[in-house]
């Protein structure tokens, strides 16, 4: 039994940042990298199945990204993943989530897992597309936004709840192998122990190229994507009227806003 | 390739309101005066939904009867693909909803349609469709286009377009979609857990806390602050997920909508789009955040860049003297 967990190293903007000269992204030096928050939860969900199982379950992490993504992959290994696969080639630069999904699907074909987990979305670009697109390319059943999962290794089906608008839950059953996208809050992700962090350094990260996966370079990057970035820009903000001054002065003004809005009752 | 096709969303026999927002969104995407806006109703009893989408701006309603009563990704993907092949629209719109999360990317990936999600603006510029979405936690906007794509599928952000008012009488046609053997089965719906002691939808003044409070032990300070200023304490998703406050106090897409709220003070909330969905309509929003770039300042009326603990203490003093 094997669970493949797709993870992403996401980027957040530094306090000050500059848009690249071509206007299509932020200069790389202003990006702070980390493991996508959602992926912590999907890895934890895989670990829970592994630890509850009576037969061996292998948890394999797959990540599409350059060598710098190893830092995020090591976090997953420290939390208990058995091994990791990282896919990279310079041609992948500029890929949209669908092009990335092709690579994850190609790794899934090699690994033949019983379940493939992905986060509902990534915290940087929030497409909410990669996992479900990978499912389509594998022609596997799929479900999105899970907040509960019941699966016994070896079972032909899994039961789950997906979380809908307003908190309504939808209980469903899915045929396996399947792709499931995991929502925040499905579990409480663990912290890695110092010992596990040290041990993770010795766990293998297999690096695969496009050629290893028999994916032509034209299938990734801009050419393999379903959208193309024309321009990135900082939107006009400043709708908020900023309240300046010392904390006491700010509090005084906020108190006045509260008193006015609540009719002075408070 | 012409015209706009809207895929209506239904749940438990009712039209989801986001569908009507798409009707308004589609109006600016008629490339030529003759371009039509059609709404596809894919449901077990689609004719029952016809009145709900008989609104100005809809030229045609297409009913597609399917076996699945509730959301089924394979059913929707198969039906929409068949509709696209038969009708050849240039643009297909779905809401950026939980249901669409479950099938839109599959539909686009398999058929290589142009595709973008969480789009909040789109228009034709020199004949080419340009869509705008957020990036890096909504701190930047990204314009994307779809070179060489005859069909583009867009998942449109909710609460951006106002639904049309009034009624109309569009033509109604029916369409037969191929049969599907589903691989996912709907079992039941479970209502969200009952509120602890509070109805966030009725609260007029909400003080909401987010990730910025750091740890569970700090909740009490803001509970006291909310009491002191006369607010109902609410929260963003991470606080409810961690169990620091009950789920019934969560404001946002998968929580409560601050329906009656007139004053919303957000402390340590960065402004994830899912949270904004529950509160951005509030007339007076005050955002307090240590990060001057927090995207919540983009929708707030007033902004305060400060340490939320210090500001909280100072504010509480204002209400104690």
Share of chain A above pLDDT 70, in %: 98
Q: From the list A226, A239, A255, which residue is nearest B108 (CB)?
A: A226
Q: From the list B101, B190, B297, which residue is nearest A171 (CB)?
A: B190
Give the DSSP H/E element, type plus range, for residue A145: strand A142-150
Return the pLDDT at B192.
81
Query: Using one digit for the tens of pLDDT, what is the confidence trace for A208-232?
Result: 999 999 999 999 999 999 999 999 9
Residues of B in contact with A229 (CB under 8 A): 142-144
SS3 A239: coil
Query: Using one digit for the tens of pLDDT, what is the confidence trace for A167-180?
Result: 999 999 999 999 99
Q: Does B163 touch chain A (CB under 8 A)?
A: no
CA distance A63 to chain B (A): 19
Tell me the residue ranges of DSSP E strands in chain B.
4-7, 10-11, 14-15, 37-43, 60-65, 91-95, 114-119, 121-125, 128-135, 140-145, 152-156, 171-175, 184-190, 205-209, 232-235, 263-267, 284-289, 302-305
Q: Does A255 touch chain B (CB under 8 A)?
A: yes
Taking each helix axis from N to C end, the angle separating B104-111 and A97-111, rounded to the nearest 10 degrees, works out to 90
Q: For chain A, give the mean pLDDT.
A: 95
CA distance A55 to chain B (A): 26
- All domains in chain A, ordered by first residue: 2-224 (3.40.50.620), 239-266 (no CATH)
φ/ψ region of B90 (left if φ > 0, alpha if ψ in -120 to 50, else beta) reads: alpha
Instruction: Tell whether the model's pLDDT for residue B193 goes beyond 80.
Output: no
Return the pLDDT at B273.
87
**Mutation target vs B (from A170, A174, A183, A259; most B CBs, 10 A cutoff):** A170
| Measured distance CA(A99)–CA(B248) in Å, rounded | 39
Return the pLDDT at B12.
96
CB A66 within 8 A of CB A38: no
Q: Does A112 touch chain B (CB under 8 A)?
A: no
Residues of A in contact with B225 (CB under 8 A): none
Q: Does A219 touch chain B (CB under 8 A)?
A: no
Return the pLDDT at A238.
60
Chain A 37-76, CB below 8 Å of chain B: which residues? none
C-beta atoms of B262 and A235 within 8 A: no
Phi/psi for B146 (5° steps) reads -135, 65
C-beta atoms of A168 and B255 within 8 A: no
**What letters, b where the CB count within 10 A reaches 16 and e where it falls short, cover B265-300?**
bbbbbbbbbbbbbbbbebebbbbbbeeebbbbbbbb
Structure tokens at B10: 């239904």
The set of residues, in sequence order, having a beta carbon less than 8 Å from that of B151 and lying 6+ positions away, is: B1, B84, B88, B89, B90, B91, B92, B111, B113, B114
Return the pLDDT at B195.
61
CB A162 within 8 A of CB B98: yes
Instruction: Tell whether the model's pLDDT for residue B135 goes beyond 70.
Output: yes
Q: Which parts of chain A sit beneath pLDDT 50? A: 266
Q: From the list B108, B242, B297, which residue is nearest A237 (CB)?
A: B297
> In which band, very low, low, confident or very high, does the pLDDT at B106 lie, cut at 50, 70 and 90?
very high
Burial class of residue B17 in the structure, from the number of CB atoms within 10 Å of its CB (0-12 exposed, 13-18 middle, 19+ buried):
middle
* CA-only gyration radius of chain A, Å: 22
Q: Does A32 touch chain B (CB under 8 A)?
A: no
DSSP annotation of A110: H
CA distance A164 to chain B (A): 6
Return the pLDDT at B164.
97
Q: Does B102 touch chain A (CB under 8 A)?
A: yes
CA distance B34 to chain A (A): 27
Q: From the list B184, B237, B273, which residue is nearest A172 (CB)?
A: B184
Q: Which chain A residue is nearest to residue B303, measuring alpha carbons?
A: A242
| Measured distance CA(A75)–CA(A201) in Å, rounded | 10
ipTM, two decimals, is 0.94
Q: For chain B, give the mean pLDDT.
A: 95
Query: Using one digit for the tens of pLDDT, what is the confidence trace for A133-155?
Result: 999 999 999 999 999 999 999 99
Query: Using one digit for the tens of pLDDT, what is the confidence trace for B273-321?
Result: 899 999 999 999 999 999 988 889 989 999 999 999 999 999 999 998 6
Counting Cα atoms < 13 Å in the Cβ hemisphere of A36 gives 30
DSSP assignment of A174-214 = EESSEEEEE-TTSS-PPPPPHHHHHHHTTS-EEEE-TTTTT
| Measured distance CA(B162)–CA(B190) in Å, rounded | 29
C-beta atoms of A170 and B186 within 8 A: yes
Structure tokens at A42: 């999907």
Share of chain B above pLDDT 90, in %: 86
Share of chain B above pLDDT 70, in %: 98
CA distance A46 to chain B (A): 19
| Measured distance CA(A80)–CA(B213) in Å, rounded | 29
Nearest to A143 by CA among A56, A220, A60, A42: A42
> Long-range contacts: B12-17, Cβ < 8 Å, 24+?
B12/B70, B12/B189, B13/B43, B13/B45, B13/B48, B14/B52, B15/B49, B15/B52, B15/B53, B16/A165, B16/B95, B16/B97, B16/B99, B17/B163
C-beta atoms of B302 and A250 within 8 A: no
């Amino acid at each position: 039994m094997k669970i493949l967990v797709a993870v992403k190293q996401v980027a957040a903007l530094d306090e000050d940042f500059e848009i690249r000269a071509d206007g299509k992204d932020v200069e790389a030096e202003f990006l702070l990298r980390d493991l996508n928050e959602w992926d912590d939860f999907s890895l934890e969900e895989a670990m829970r199945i592994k630890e509850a199982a009576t037969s061996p379950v292998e948890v394999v992490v797959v990540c599409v990204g350059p060598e710098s993504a190893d830092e995020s992959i090591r976090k997953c290994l420290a939390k208990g993943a058995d091994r990791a696969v990282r896919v990279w080639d310079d041609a992948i630069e500029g890929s949209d989530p669908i092009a990335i999904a092709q690579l994850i699907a190609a790794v899934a074909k090699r690994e033949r897992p019983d379940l493939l987990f992905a986060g509902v979305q990534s915290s940087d670009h929030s497409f909410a597309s990669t996992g479900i697109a990978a499912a389509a390319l594998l022609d596997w059943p799929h479900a999105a936004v899970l907040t509960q999962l019941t699966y016994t290794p070896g079972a032909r089906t899994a039961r789950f709840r997906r979380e809908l608008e307003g908190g309504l839950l939808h209980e469903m059953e899915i045929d396996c192998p399947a792709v499931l996208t995991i929502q925040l809050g499905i579990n409480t992700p663990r912290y890695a122990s110092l010992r596990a962090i040290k041990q993770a350094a010795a766990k293998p990260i297999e690096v695969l190229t496009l050629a290893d996966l028999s994916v032509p370079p034209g299938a990734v990057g801009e050419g393999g994507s379903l959208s193309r970035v024309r321009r990135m820009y900082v939107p006009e903000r400043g709708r908020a009227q900023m309240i300046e001054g010392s904390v006491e002065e700010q509090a005084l003004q906020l108190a006045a806003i509260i008193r006015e809005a609540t009719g002075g009752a408070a | 390739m012409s015209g706009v096709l809207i895929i209506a969303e239904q749940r438990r026999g009712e039209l989801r309101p986001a569908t009507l927002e798409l009707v308004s969104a589609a109006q600016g995407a008629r490339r030529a005066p003759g371009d039509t806006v059609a709404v596809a109703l894919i449901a077990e009893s689609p004719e029952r939904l016809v009145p709900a989408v008989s609104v100005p701006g809809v030229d045609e309603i297409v009913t597609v009867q399917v076996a699945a009563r509730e959301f089924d990704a394979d059913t929707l993907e198969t039906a929409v693909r068949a509709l696209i092949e038969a009708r050849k629209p240039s643009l297909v719109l779905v809401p950026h909803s939980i249901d669409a999360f479950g099938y839109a990317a599959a539909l686009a990936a398999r058929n290589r349609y142009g595709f973008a999600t969480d789009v909040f603006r789109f228009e034709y510029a020199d004949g080419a469709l340009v869509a705008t979405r957020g990036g890096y936690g909504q701190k930047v906007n990204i314009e994307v286009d779809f070179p060489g794509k005859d069909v583009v599928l867009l998942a449109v952000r909710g609460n951006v377009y106002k639904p049309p008012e009034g009624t109309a009488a569009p033509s109604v046609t029916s369409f037969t979609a191929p049969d599907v053997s589903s691989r996912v089965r709907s079992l039941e719906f479970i209502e969200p857990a009952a509120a602890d002691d509070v109805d966030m939808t009725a609260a007029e003044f909400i003080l909401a806390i987010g990730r910025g409070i750091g740890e569970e032990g700090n909740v009490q300070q803001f509970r006291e602050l909310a009491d002191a200023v006369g607010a109902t304490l609410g929260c963003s998703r991470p606080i409810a997920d961690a169990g620091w406050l009950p789920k019934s106090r969560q404001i946002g897409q998968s929580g409560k909508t601050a329906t009656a709220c007139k004053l919303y003070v957000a402390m340590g909330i960065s402004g994830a789009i899912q949270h904004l969905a529950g509160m951005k309509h509030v007339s007076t929003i005050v955002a307090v955040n240590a990060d001057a770039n927090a995207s919540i300042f983009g929708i707030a009326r007033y902004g305060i860049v400060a340490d939320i603990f210090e500001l909280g203490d100072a504010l509480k003093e204002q209400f104690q003297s």
